[in-house]
Every structure is written in C-alpha cells, then in structure tokens.
Chain A
Amino acid sequence: MKAEVVVIGSGISGLTAAALLAKKGKRVVILEQNRRPGGALKRFTRRGIPFDIGFHYSGGMGKGEILRALWKYIGVWPRLAVLPFPEEGNENLRIMDSGKVVRAFFSYDRLEDELQRVFPGEKQGIYAYLNKIREISNTIPFFNLDLPLTPYLHDLFSPKGMSLAQLLMSLIRDTDLHAVLSTPVFLYGVPPREVNLTIHASVAHPLYSGVYAIDGGGQAIVDAFLATLAEAGVDILTGQKVESVLIRGNQVAGVKTSEKEIYASHVIYTGHPTSLLDLVPGEIFRKAFCNRMRNLINTDSMFIVFGAIDDPDTLGDLTWINYYNIRTGLDIMDLDLRHPEKSIMINAPGRRDSDSTGASGGVLLIRMSVWDEVARFDQGVREKRSAAYRKWKAESADKMIEQAGRLWGDAYSRIEPLAIGTPLTFRDKLGLPMGATYGVRHSMNQFSPGVRTRLPGLWLSGQGTLMAGIMGASLAGMVTVGEIEGLEPLWYEVRQCR
C-alpha cells in the first residue's frame, strides 16, 4: 500500500494533521491501533447513557478565535453544533479547608467581580493577575492571530521565566485565592510551582474568554472529522498496530503494521514520544535523544467514575456548572493518599446534548490518581484484571460517591457506577504511559519534545509537542503539518478563516 504521508494515531492531533495534509492534496493514510478512531475524544455508552472520556468543554470557539478558525479552514466547523456555556455557567470551587465557595465564571469580567466579592482584601492582586494573563496571551499567536508563529514556537520549549506559583505569591496573600487561580492546572496537568506563565496562560486565557460544549460531545467532533476525511479520500485503517518505521537510506520509507507495509515519505507519530523509540531501529537516534525521551516527566493520571443516577432532575444545575472540592494553597495537585478528604470534581458533559432527556443522567466523578495506586495490579496490557483490582476499584469509587453526597447533596450519594477508569485503563485504552492523562508534562524542569527528529521524514505531533488538551493537541497537528509544508503560509491561510 502506498501513500505520501502516514499518520500514526487518530486522536485529535492525528485527525487535524491528516485533514490539513489532505487539503494540501496529499495522499494520507491514518493508522489506529484501536477498533474505533478518535482517541480520547471518543464516547462510549452504558445502559444507553453516553459518556465522554476526554472532551468536557473547550475554549477557542468564539468568533475570531483559534479553534473555530482552524476547524473552519479544515471544513469540519459547519458539521458541528457548538453550544456556548450560558452566562451563569461556572466552575463551582469549594475550598475544603475553609468551606469557602467561589464561582469561577468563564469570563474575565464576571470572574473578576466574583473574586472581588469573595476576596475583598485582594482587589489589586486579582486585577494584576488577570491583567498579566491577558497581557501574556496577547503575545501568543494562538490568541493574537496577527502574530507570526515561528518566533513563538522557537521560544516555547526553553523552560524559563516565572512560575505560576511565583506570580501568585508575589500578588496575593490569601491561600484560598491561590488555589482558585491555580485551578486551570487541572486542565493541563502541571503543578503551579512547575509551570511557566506562557503554558498557564494558554489554558487560562481561553477559559476566561468563554467556553463551549459540542452537541454530541467529543464523538461529534470525531464524526465531523471522519466525514471530512472521507470526502478528501483519506483512508483510516483501524486495529492496526504499527510495529516499526521503515527506513531506506537515511530517510523514512513508511511503516510496517501487524498486517501490512505502507510506503510513504513522511510519517507523523502522534503517540507518546517515549513509545516512538520502540518503533525505530536503535542506531537511528543518538543516545542523548533516546535518554531524553525515555526520561521525560509525565503528568499524573486520573480516577474517573462514570455513573448514572435514577432521578437526574435532583442533581440541580450540574449541566453548565462543574463542581470542584479542592485544597487551599498552591499544592492543589498533590495527591496525598493518606489525607481523608480528597480533591474531587464532578461534571456531566452528556447532559449538555440538545436531545438530553431524563434518561441522560450520566455523571463523571473525577479525582487525581498516580501510577503507584495501580502498579501492584498491573499484569500486562492484555491480561485479565484480578479480583483484587476490581475490589480496589469498586471501593475507591464508593468512597468518591459517598464524598460527593456529603459535599453536594444527598442525590449525589445515589450515583451508581457504570464504568470506572483508572491509570491502568488510560494506559491500555489510550496508550498513555502510566496513564498520564495529559502525556508529557510541560514543566519548567524539562524541555518538551519538538516536532522534528533526526530522521528525515519522521515527525512528532500530539499534546506532548505543544500544549495539552483538545485545543493543544489540535494545534499540535497544525504545527506539525506547518513544519512539513511551511509554517507561515499555512498559518496565514488558517487565520484568514477567523
């Protein structure tokens, strides 16, 4: 089989890259090792209730904003029904230490009003923080589309500058407010003491500018891409595990899967950069590169209860409000397993669907998790899990449900778990090493991987190479195609679509 470009992985970065290349007239083949394409954007159903895995909401879809422009350019935008969060939508943040509740609205102005109401002594700090985020976002081309991409990307990977924690400590004294302004870290997985302001602003700014759901959830995004790709003649081969990258001379020649060889002069790898090393013969990369990729620090994982409730109306305003119970201070991501009260979050993306009825009582109960919690149950990817693992999983879920009931009302204690995701699940279903939800940690303590590799024709993409999350991964797909086809001309065309 022949193509010009093979894209390995059909998550949002692979789908984006493939659609852009097809638009440029390239013959593209996507390889996906799972049965269904879509990566973390996929939905699954239990008892007829749809559950989103990785897509809960996103910024960047307003008029003139980046995802809207990029997806318009690709041609998927008209296939999507975008649902802006209503004004009253917010992240309802409860600080467990003080019991204080803050509604973090998805708007700079409303957020500022709320924060000044709850923290009247910190008016100046609040203003200065929000202003700083706005100021930084204005230097990032994804949020100021008139800027060129190249200088920004060139600078992005050097871990330098001030951390989010340093900024917050310099402006604000109240530790509850530190926690509140740190909560966007849950959307990219880097602790406040390790993240620089550019990475933080890349998530916080779109969050403060307005967020959106998609009718039909992440699956609707996958389906829109698949329809566009089918029209463009892109082949998607599922159930195809890539065994190796083929090399001729000192150049990529294609890939070999369990079933066939596909010849192509470019290969884009969207999986975790560490697992790329398994596909390329040892002598191709230098030891320094292999060691760096092998030692990358990853984000932590999550524990998710996908549950149902008999009487969804009793859940109140859960549709457009995400409830969080968090620790005070800057270490809000720390998972202290001995601590009796855990940071926990609940939301219900499926309830936002236009055809959502009483039957769609699906809720997601989420907490941080780490590999250490499940390491003892790991018997390899294909092994059947042990009874001890199932018992631990069920007990952990029960504890979270009990806690949710205590925190947000009795109705929540009646959640019935229909599926449970642990670090093991995310490793095996999504190919994330140790279940690292957001892949490579974009930390000030390390250099994130770039798009280019030493092997001509072999390119990296995915959230590890640019930014985490759906926006980060989709933009990563664009940047990788830009590196192949010419960055600024592509960027110029994309931004014409705003």
Chain B
Amino acid sequence: MISDEQVYQQVTQIMAEEFELEPESLQPDATLYEDLGLDSLDAVDMVVALEKAFGMKMTDEEAVRSVRTLADLFDLVCRLKNRQVTKE
C-alpha cells in the first residue's frame, strides 16, 4: 500500500507533467481553476490521468466537482485509495 505522502508526490508529479505546470506553482492551497489555469475541459483529462496512474475509478462526480484546490484533490485521491485497500 502506498502512503499518503507518496500519493501527494505522485499527484504533484502527474499535474506537473500532464498539464505542463511549474512545480513551484503546485502548492496545496493553489486552486485548480484560478491559480493553475485549468478549465472544465481539463477536468476530464485530469480524472483520466489520475485514474490511470492509481488504477482506480473516480466515478463520484459530486466529489470530483467539489474539488477546488490541490489539497482537495490529494484528499480525494487518498480517500479513494484507502477505500480501494479496504475493499481488497
């Protein structure tokens, strides 16, 4: 099982690479839409990239839609990862 810290690092790395963002801009309180400049089109691409990297499904649309900051995103991914482990 991977730790929350590893999830944090991996999410940061995916966002930096897949969306060509400056690593310094990827602070936990950075908002995806205002600070990082993502838009609603990017949201689906982001979900697909994270699903692939972590081998899980992010089908709870409400939860995805409520993500505002990178910290929210880390929380969501950690929550889903932990749930997956419990299921296994």
Chain B residues in 8 Å Cβ range of A256: none
Give chain A's interface secondary structure class: loop
Q: How large is the interface on A (under 10, 10 to 19, 20 to 34, 35 or more residues)?
A: 10 to 19
Which residues of chain A from 259 to 302 have a CB within 8 Å of any chain B CB? 286-289, 291-292, 295
Given contacts A447-B47, A447-B48, contact A288 B59 (CB under 8 A): no
Given A159-B59, A286-B19, A287-B18; A450-B41 close (CB under 8 Å): yes
A447 touches B19 (CB 8 A): no
**What residue of chain A has the Cβ atom nearest to residue B64's Cβ?**
A158
CB-CB under 8 A from B61, the residues of chain A are 158, 160
Restricting to B11-27, which residues have a CB under 8 Å from any CB of A? 17-20
Q: List 25 A-B contacts (CB under 8 A).
A: A157-B44, A158-B61, A160-B59, A286-B20, A286-B42, A287-B18, A287-B20, A288-B46, A289-B42, A289-B45, A291-B18, A291-B45, A291-B48, A291-B49, A292-B44, A292-B49, A447-B44, A447-B48, A450-B41, A450-B44, A452-B41, A453-B41, A454-B39, A454-B41, A454-B42
Q: Are A286 and B59 in contact (CB under 8 A)?
A: no
Task: Tell whether, in the assembled complex, residue A286 and residue B18 are in contact, meaning their CB atoms are under 8 Å apart.
Answer: yes
Kindly list chain A residues whose C-beta atoms are within 8 Å of the C-beta of B19: 286-288
Which 8 residue pairs are nearest across A and B when measured between Cβ atoms? A288-B18, A288-B45, A292-B48, A287-B18, A288-B49, A289-B45, A160-B59, A447-B44
Whether A288 lies near B41 (C-beta < 8 A) is: no
**A450–B48 CA distance with the chains assembled, in angstroms:** 14
* Residues from chain A with Cβ under 8 Å of B39 in the complex: 454
Known pairs A158-B59, A160-B59, A291-B18; A286 contacts B44 (CB<8 A): no
Q: Which residues of A contact B (CB under 8 A)?
A: 157-160, 286-289, 291-292, 295, 446-447, 450, 452-454
Complexed CA–CA distance, A454 and B20 (Å): 14
Q: Give CA–CA (A80, B76) in the complex, Å.
A: 54
Pick the contact of B17: A157, A159, A287, A289 (CB < 8 A). Answer: A287
A474 CB to closest chain B CB (Å) equals: 25
A291: chain B residues at CB < 8 Å are 18, 45, 48-49
Q: A286-B18, A287-B17, A287-B18 are in contact. Are A292 and B59 (CB under 8 A)?
A: no
- Within 8 Å CB of B52, what residues of A? 295
Residues of B with C-beta under 8 A to A452: 41
| A208 CA / B63 CA spacing, docked (Å) | 37
Query: In whole Å, how far is B37's beta carbon from the nearest beta carbon of chain A?
Result: 10
Task: For B18, list chain A residues within 8 Å (CB).
Answer: 286-288, 291
Residues of B within 8 A of A289 (CB): 41-42, 45
- Please, which residue of chain B has its CB at the minimum distance from the CB of A448? B44
Tell me the nearest residue of chain A to B18, going by C-beta.
A288
Residues of chain B lying within 8 A (CB to CB) of residue A160? 59, 61
Minimal Cβ-Cβ distance residue in A for B40: A452
- Closest B residue to A161 by beta carbon equals B59
Q: Kindly identify, within residues 35 to 77 of chain B, every residue whose CB is under 8 Å from any CB belonging to chain A.
A: 39, 41-42, 44-49, 52, 59, 61
A244 to B18, CA, bound (A): 23
- Complex CA gap A159/B59 in Å reads 7
Q: A286-B18, A291-B49 known; 6 other A-B pairs, CB under 8 Å?
A: A158-B61, A160-B59, A288-B42, A288-B45, A452-B41, A454-B42
Using Cβ atoms and an 8 Å threshold, which residues of chain B touch A288?
18-19, 42, 45-46, 48-49
Measured between C-beta atoms, what is the minimum distance from B4 to chain A in Å? 23
Residue of A160, A292, A446, A452 contacting most chain B CB atoms (<10 Å): A292
Most buried by B among A158, A295, A452: A158
